Amino acid sequence: MSPDPMSATPTVVEATRENFRDLVAEGTVLVDVWGPDCQHCLALMPHVEALAQRYDGEVRVVKLEAPKARRLCMELGIMGMPAFVMFRDGEEVGRLADPALSPDRLNQWVDQQTEEVS
C-alpha cells in the first residue's frame, strides 16, 4: 500500500498547476516534484515531511504531483524524479534531481540552500 502523500504533515502544501505560482511567489519555498509511480519519490516522502517540520516558518514545503501538472513540469524543465526546486520570492535559486537521491544528500542540499538564501 502506497503512503498518502498529503496525510501526515499539515506544513506540507499540495501545489496544482493553478496555485503553483502563488505558492512560490513569496519567501523561501522547497518544491518536491514527485509521482505516484516513482518508488524513490514515495520512499523520500517521510524525509520531506521531516524537512517541512524542521524548517517550519523558515521554508515552506510544497509538493507538486508531476502527472497532474505535466505542462508546468515542462515549463520548469523537470526531466526526472525525484526533483527538488528551491524558490526565493518566485525565482528559482537551486535544483536537485537525482534518481538515486538519499535522504542525507537531500538534507545536506536543503541546508546549503537555506544558508545561501538567508
Residue 66 in any domain: the answer is yes
CA distance 17 to 79: 17
Total residue count of the chain as it appears in this document: 118
The pLDDT of 31-57, averaged and rounded, is: 94
pLDDT of 112 over the 50 cut = yes
pTM above 0.85, yes or no: yes
**CB-based contact 85:72 (threshold 8 Å):** no
Per the structure, how many domains does the chain have? 1
CATH code at position 58: 3.40.30.10
Q: What is the DSSP string of 46-79?
A: HHHHHHHHHTTTT-EEEEEEGGG-HHHHHHHT--
Residue 6 in any domain: the answer is no
Q: Mind listing the pLDDT tens digit for each residue in 48-99?
A: 999 999 998 899 999 999 999 999 999 999 999 999 999 999 999 999 999 9
Domain of 31 in residue numbering reads as 12-110
